[in-house]
Chain A
Amino acid sequence: MTLTPTHRAATLPFRLASQGLAAPTALKPGAAISLAWLFFAIAAPLIAPYDPIAQDLEQTLRHPSLAHWLGTDNFGRDVLTRIVWGARFDLAMGLLGVIVPFILGSAIGLVAGYFGGIVDMLLMRLLDITISFPFFVLVIAIISVLGAGLVSFFIAVALVGWVSYARLIRAQTLVLKHSDFVLAARNLGYGRLRIMARHILPNAVLPAIVFSMSDVVLTILLGSSLSYLGLGVQPPSAEWGVMIAEGQTFLATAWWISFFPGLAIVTLALGFSLLADGLAETLGIRE
């Protein structure tokens, strides 16, 4: 049977659609946006036009203009400058707030999966207890005990966020520990630690890496939300959640104070989301 033109016409949109969703399209813009923010954060002292903290009470609540591209807030601070500096806080919260739970969770998942038995049972019950609390409630509770601030935020996120990584790594470990190459490794007289770290972990870590990319988004949102609520970064530090909270009272008269930090959060989150999606697709992993 030959393919008639109508057949070809019918299959073409499908193929276009499937190709349109393919990895590179999401990966590249995602990486571009994320890298741009990373650049702003690192180069903040060089590219920000004003001081992020110093007040200028003669320039309060100015509209966006050539001198102040995104306007000024109620203390006369340049909004653009504060957003650029704020990228440091929000990226740090997103990245560090993921790396620590990643390492902690991977270690726990690896140990639980490889040793099994009573060790696995105890660690998994600890995990069950942790996830039986609503995520936000537990984070806020830990922060209220430790006192508001960035350090408390990182501790709280580590204590609550490890569970996802522990589960992902444990699930992979359970399969991999019975794999043939692990048997071959045991055959060469390798100890447990070496087998876990050198043979199981590198083979198990991929789903966790993909998850961590989207976890960055959630952690950034968590960080800025807590700062908005006054539990994270404290004013007068330039952090996007803090800026939104400060601009709230002026929303009717000076919308730009809250609007642009909000936009910054949206673009940064979008960038990492696209990056995560693209990465998952490129690596052939679907969550």
Chain B
Amino acid sequence: MSVALIEAQDLTVDIETRAGRLRPVDHISFALRAGEIMGLVGESGSGKSMTCRALMRLLPSRQARIVAGRVLFEGQDIVSLPETGMRALRGPKMAMIFQNPSSHLDPVMTIGEQITEAVLCHERIGRKAAHERAADLLRQVGFPDPVRQLDAYAHQFSGGMRQRAMIAAALACRPKLLIADEPTTALDVTVQAQILRLLLDLRDRTGLAIILITHDLGVVAQTCESVAVMYAGRIVERAKKADLLRQPLHPYTEALMRSRPESVPVGSLLPSIEGQPPALSQLPQGCRFHPRCPHGIPICRDTDPNLTTAGGNRASACLRWQELYAAQAGGRA
């Protein structure tokens, strides 16, 4: 197996609050090769975004801290890196794009200024070369008239164009890893498909590795190679996309897949997962999913399951995965 570009090992983030210590990211482990696209799936509040902010070392407040685990980027542990060293990585090595491109672009700077600034900040090249790079980037992300559009402001673009502009700015210093935090959620469906195709295309051409945060399994099906499903701060299932979509090995993944619009006949009511994800301050005893789990048995209430290897390249954090799914998955594993 090739060396991982980025590897998280037991990454754990704590938030100190007046009410006590919360753990939005709880011993997360995964690895990503160059050119791989991994989907990070889960409901709102499951810790997907927090995980990625931790990877960038840009946690939202001083109260949030990485308390355990390592993140190896090209073999180097970046959790212990000083802030200046980390700053040199953001941009040229890893970059992030966000759900809402409108608010993530500076309203008083032109798109061109924002892209060239990123280039000039990290590389010793002239203003003119940076300008050409910016135009080239805009062309790569699908702007029809990049030289003129460099002088436009974010408010002059449509949502899809803004997302493309943000991708261009993120890719300005040719990073190796792109973290995309729900990049298509705020866009309409046709534009969504364009942006996903753009990401795939960039991966093919530049060998970019992408962590794609989403709550849409349809997006995962179109783009990712591997998937990690998060629930209440933990990874509950990890698998290759094809395996996961064929047969999930965790009741939560199963329930997520049942809630997809494509999974039910047209006109019938979409099934939903009963109840709410638990608040971080009131995590249930035992398996965190058991209050909502259709397969829950008494042991689930007492035993906190670990993420265990379930044959091949996959892992499940369900105590009963073998008896529930072994028949179907057995052949593969």
- Please report the C-alpha to C-alpha distance between residue A256 and residue B103 in the assembled complex, in whole angstroms: 59
Q: Is the CB of B121 within 8 A of A190?
A: yes
Q: Pick from B15-23, B105-113, B268-276 the stretch touching chain A.
A: B105-113
Taking A180-B98, A183-B58 as contacts, is the C-beta distance between A188 and B118 under 8 angstroms?
Answer: yes
Known: A188-B172, A189-B88. A202 touches B109 (CB 8 A): yes
Q: Mark A17-55, 1 if CB is under 8 A from B, else 0.
A: 000000000000000000000000000000000000000
- CB distance B105 to A181 under 8 Å? yes
B87 touches A187 (CB 8 A): no
Q: Which of B86, B87, B89, B169 contacts A184 (CB 8 A)?
A: B169
- With both beta carbons as reference points, the residue of chain A lying nearest to B53 in the complex is identified as A183
Whether A191 pairs with B98 at a CB distance below 8 angstroms is: no
Contact B106 A199 (CB under 8 A): yes
B169 to chain A, nearest CB (A): 7
- Residue A171 is within 8 A (CB to CB) of chain B in the complex: no
Q: Are A203 and B90 in contact (CB-based, < 8 A)? A: no
Q: Does B95 contact A (CB under 8 A)?
A: yes
A180 vs B181: C-alpha distance in the bound complex, in angstroms? 13
0/1 string, B98-140, CB within 8 A of A gives 1: 1010011111110000000110011000000000000000000
A172, chain B: closest CB distance, angstroms: 12
Once the chains bind, are B108 and A184 in contact (CB under 8 Å)?
no
Contact residue range for chain B? 20 to 34
Q: Which residues of B contact A249 (CB under 8 A)?
A: none
Residues of A within 8 Å of B100, CB to CB, are 180
Residue of B86, B105, B107, B108 ringed by the most chain A CB atoms within 10 A: B108
Q: Is B32 an interface residue (CB 8 A)?
A: no
Q: Does B209 interact with chain A (Cβ within 8 Å)?
A: no
Can you name the residue of chain B whose Cβ is closest to the Cβ of A201? B108
The listed residue (A181, A187, A198, A202) touching B56 by CB distance below 8 A is A187
- Residues of chain B within 8 A of A187, CB atoms compared: 56, 58, 90-91, 95-96, 170
Q: Are B169 and A188 in contact (CB under 8 A)?
A: yes
Q: Bound complex: CA of A73 vs CA of B118, how far in Å?
A: 64
Query: In whole Å, how far is A284's beta carbon from the nearest beta carbon of chain B?
Result: 14
Contact of A189 with B108 in the complex, beta carbons under 8 Å? no
Residues of A within 8 A of B89 (CB): 189
Contacts of A191 in B (CB 8 A): 87
Contact of A188 among B90, B98, B107, B108 (CB under 8 A): B90
Chain B residue, CB-CB nearest to A185: B106
Residue interface bits B142-181, CB-to-A below 8 A is 1, else 0: 0000000000000000000000001001101100000000
Q: Please, how many angstroms separate the alpha-carbon atoms of A70 and B90 in the complex?
A: 68
Inter-chain CA distance A203–B92, complex, in Å, is: 26
Say whether, besides A188-B169, A188-B172, A189-B121, A203 and B95 are in contact (CB < 8 Å). no
Residues of B contacting A188 in the complex (Cβ-Cβ under 8 angstroms): 90-91, 95, 118, 121, 169-170, 172-173
Contact A186 B58 (CB under 8 A): yes
Q: How many A-B residue pairs have CB under 8 A?
A: 64
A282 within 8 A of B: no
Which of chain B's residues has its CB closest to A182's CB? B106
Interface centre among A184, A186, A189 (most CB of B within 10 A): A189
- Do B103 and A181 touch (CB < 8 A)? yes
Q: Give the nearest-CB partner of B113 in chain A.
A: A198
Encoded as 1 (CB less than 8 Å from any A CB) or 0, chain B from 303 to 330 comes to: 0000000000000000000000000000
Chain B contacts for A180, CB-based, 8 A: 98, 100, 103-104
Q: Looking across the interface, which residue of chain B has its beta carbon closest to that of A200? A: B106
A237 at interface (Cβ–Cβ under 8 A)?
A: no
CB <8 Å contact, B105 and A184:
yes
Residues of B contacting A194 in the complex (Cβ-Cβ under 8 angstroms): 121
Q: Is A179 an interface residue (CB 8 A)?
A: yes
A81–B87 Cα distance when bound, in Å, is: 61
Complex: A183 Cα to B104 Cα, angstroms: 7
Task: Enumerate chain A residues within 8 angstroms of B90, measured Cβ to Cβ.
Answer: 186-189
Flag A157-194 by CB within 8 Å of B: 1 or 0 each: 00000000000000000000001110111111111001
Residues 190-227 of chain A: 1 if any B CB is under 8 Å from the residue's CB, otherwise 0?
Answer: 11001000110011000000000000000000000000
Q: Please report which residues of chain B, range 32-73, place their CB below 8 angstroms from some CB of chain A when the two chains form the complex.
A: 56, 58
Q: Are B96 and A202 in contact (CB under 8 A)?
A: no
Q: How far is the CB of A193 from chain B (nearest CB, A)?
A: 11
Chain A residues whose CB sits within 8 angstroms of the CB of B170 once the complex forms: 187-188
Task: Please name all residues of chain A whose beta carbon is closer than 8 Å to the beta carbon of B104 when the two chains form the complex.
Answer: 180-181, 183-184
Q: A181–B106 contact, CB under 8 A?
A: yes
30 intermolecular pairs with C-beta atoms under 8 Å apart = A180-B98, A181-B104, A181-B106, A181-B107, A183-B58, A183-B104, A184-B96, A184-B98, A186-B90, A187-B58, A187-B90, A187-B95, A187-B170, A188-B90, A188-B118, A188-B121, A188-B169, A188-B170, A189-B89, A189-B90, A189-B121, A189-B122, A190-B117, A190-B121, A191-B87, A198-B109, A198-B117, A199-B106, A199-B109, A203-B106
Nearest 5 A-B pairs (CB), nearest first? A189-B90, A189-B91, A180-B103, A184-B104, A180-B104
Residues of B in contact with A (beta carbons under 8 Å apart): 56, 58, 86-92, 95-96, 98, 100, 103-109, 117-118, 121-122, 166, 169-170, 172-173
Beyond the given A187-B96, A189-B88, A203-B106, please list 9 additional residue pairs across the A-B interface where CB-CB is below 8 A. Answer: A181-B105, A184-B106, A187-B91, A188-B90, A188-B118, A189-B86, A189-B90, A189-B121, A191-B87
